[in-house]
A = this chain, B = another copy of it.
Amino acid sequence: MSTAPSTPAKYDVVGVGNALVDVISHADDGFIAQYELVKGSMTLVDTDRALFLYRALGSAVEMSGGSAANTMTGVASLGGTAAYIGKVSADELGDVFGHDLRAVGVQFRPGRPDHETPTGRCIIVVTPDAERTMNTYLGVSSLLCATDIDEATVAAGKVLYMEGYLFDRDEAKAAFRRAAAVAHANGRQVSLTLSDSFCVDRHRDDFRSLVTDEVDILFGNRDELTALYEVESFDEAVRCVQRDCHLAVITVGSEGCYVITRDEVLTAPAEPVDHVLDTTGAGDLFAAGFLFGYTRDLHLLECARLGAIAAAEVISHVGPRPLVELKSLIS
């Protein structure tokens, strides 16, 4: 699918995603039921619903988030080089988002500035079982389009990493296709995370054609993979993805993950965690660890081990990004 790289890569990974600030609060299952939230999933909400939920919410903490952005901070925290493409507004939360990427050394390419639409935010309700339920008001992040893709940045990354959440908008799908084309034209690899099984359900055909046409490395969990191929059994989904992708990495929560190549299916364990506090960012940080290893040509099982270590760190505290330098955990 790719030509040989023409120039050395400046970045290990270049991420593209919805640039969001997380608004994190704790509530019990009664709150989830009362406000008819879909536990464990990501739901898109409009301004009114976002305001309604926010008013109902207990006191909250604001932290930069966004799936692919979390992954890029993980890559940087491990000692890798990363850049991120996503749209924020010229407002306070946009400043926060940009600061928190730059502060950990991620190059931020925010696209054209926008002053009209506020920076997107994701209202995250963490229940006592550490599960997170997300309600996303996309704001200006939803205006990302093909012309916002900084092609020089994409061309300079060994691996392009895109989040499936972007698929909820046609303009972003076009941005996706554009970024993938630029990456491949420069001999880079293209990876995608499926993000959410409901999102996969909403856009199955588009996901399927993108995976077939453009994706070299697919990330997701078991539910997302079976949703993608509309099959009952995981084994069947594995056969499908082996046909479509060079490599698929499928997580199964505390059971670990499957690393699926054309020829074989490897399994790797999760990293034990004493007390899981908040699963937000688990998949994002797993991908960070895996890609950090992958871009260093480590064995696939070693990549999975690094992913497990990064994921274990992020689920052991509240918030979607590492609190310690991940580099210190892998030496």
**Chain A residues in contact with chain B, CB under 8 A?**
25-26, 54-55, 57-64, 73, 91-93, 96, 99-100, 102-104, 118, 319, 321, 323
Contact = CB atoms under 8 A, between A and B. Distances in A.
Given A91-B92, A92-B91, A118-B92, A73 B59 contact: yes
Contacts of A93: 92
Contact of A57 (B59, B60, B103, B319): B103
Question: 10 nearest interchain CB pairs?
Answer: A62-B62, A59-B100, A92-B92, A59-B103, A58-B103, A61-B63, A92-B93, A59-B104, A61-B61, A91-B92
Most buried by B among A25, A26, A61, A103: A61
A58 B104 contact: yes
A73 B60 CA distance: 13
Contact of A99 (B54, B64, B99, B103): B54
A62 B96 contact: yes
A99 B55 contact: yes
Contacts of A55: 99, 102
A60 B92 contact: no
Nearest to A118: B92
A84 to B, nearest CB: 13
Contacts of A118: 92
A60 B99 contact: yes
A323 B58 CA distance: 11
Contacts of A57: 99, 103
A60 B103 contact: yes
A26 B321 CA distance: 14
A97 to B, nearest CB: 10
A59 B70 CA distance: 12
A323 B318 CA distance: 12
B59 A62 contact: no
Most buried by B among A25, A54, A59: A59
Contacts of A102: 55
Contacts of A59: 64, 73, 99-100, 103-104, 321
14 contacts: A55-B99, A58-B103, A58-B104, A59-B64, A59-B73, A59-B99, A59-B104, A60-B96, A61-B62, A61-B63, A61-B319, A62-B62, A62-B96, A92-B93
Contacts of A323: 26
Contacts of A25: 103
